[in-house]
């Protein structure tokens, strides 16, 4: 997991070819012109989803998610969002079996740490790193965000 300021995301180029494509797109701010839904950069290898979330959640009603195929880069476009994170997947209780077709598994556990993301921030979750997105900051509000999906 990497958390940082968007102005510094270029520092993480060189980790992988696909990650570089996503970072180049972010540096060009292509996500700001993207449509709600899926926007392709390099087919299924690198794309981003623009999401409008109606209401952020309380931590008690949220679940952790993990991915095996795709790395996530998450950026809040409008609003603020909390993310619950764990430094290890130890002790996770399966809430929904892993769906390999959609690259998505859901798990129960309380977060060890919470990060708040504002529009000038980003967070990268590598495969198998549990993360709990869409958590409220003070009160439930709507947000607009982008999630880059990068094949590892």
Domains and CATH numbers, the chain: 2-151 (2.60.120.370)
Mean pLDDT of 64-80: 98
How far is the C-alpha of 71 from the C-alpha of 82, rounded, in Å?
19
Give the whole-angstrom CA distance, residue 53 versus residue 73.
Answer: 17
State how far the Cα of 9 lies from the Cα of 24, in Å rounded to an integer.
Answer: 9
> Which of 37, 61, 52 is closest to 136 using CA atoms?
61
Categorize the per-residue pLDDT at 88 as very low, low, confident or very high, splitting at 50, 70 and 90: confident
* pLDDT cut 70: percent of the chain above it: 100
Q: Given this model, what pLDDT does residue 54 score?
A: 92
The Cα–Cα gap between 150 and 18 comes to 6
Residue 59 has pLDDT above 90, yes or no: yes
pLDDT, mean of residues 75-93? 94
Average pLDDT over residues 99-116: 96
Q: Provide the greatest CA pair distance for the chain.
A: 40
Give me the pLDDT at residue 56, please.
94
Structure tokens that stand for 70 in this block: 């795709």
Q: How far is CA 31 from the centre of its chain?
A: 14
67 pLDDT above the threshold of 90: yes
- pLDDT at residue 135 is higher than 90: yes
Q: What is the CA 30 to chain-centroid distance, rounded?
A: 17
Q: What pLDDT score was predicted for residue 89?
A: 83
User: What long-range pairs does 97-101 form, CB within 8 A, spacing at least 24?
Assistant: 98/66, 98/68, 100/68
Return the percentage of the chain with pLDDT > 90, whole number.
96
How many helices (H) and strands (E) are present in the chain, helices listed first?
1, 12
CB of 53 within 8 A of CB of 121?
no
Residue 24 reports pLDDT greater than 90: yes
pLDDT(87) > 90: no
Q: In the predicted model, what is the mean pLDDT of residues 73-83?
A: 97
pLDDT of the residue at 90: 87
Round to whole Å and give the CA distance between 78 and 23.
Answer: 20
């Amino acid at each position: 997991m990497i958390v940082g300021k968007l102005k510094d995301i270029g520092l993480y180029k060189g980790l992988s070819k696909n990650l570089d494509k996503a970072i180049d797109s972010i540096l060009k701010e292509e996500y700001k012109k993207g449509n709600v839904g899926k926007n392709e950069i390099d087919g299924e290898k690198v794309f981003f989803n623009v999401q409008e979330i109606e209401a952020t959640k309380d931590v008690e009603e949220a679940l952790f998610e993990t991915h095996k195929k795709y790395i996530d880069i998450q950026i809040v476009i409008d609003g603020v969002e909390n993310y619950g994170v764990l430094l290890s997947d130890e002790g996770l209780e399966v809430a929904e079996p892993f769906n390999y077709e959609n690259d998505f598994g859901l798990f129960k556990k309380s977060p060890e740490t919470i990060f708040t993301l504002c529009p000038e921030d980003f967070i990268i979750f590598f495969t198998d790193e549990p993360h709990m997105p869409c958590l409220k900051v003070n009160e439930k509000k709507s947000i607009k965000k982008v999630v880059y999906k990068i094949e590892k």
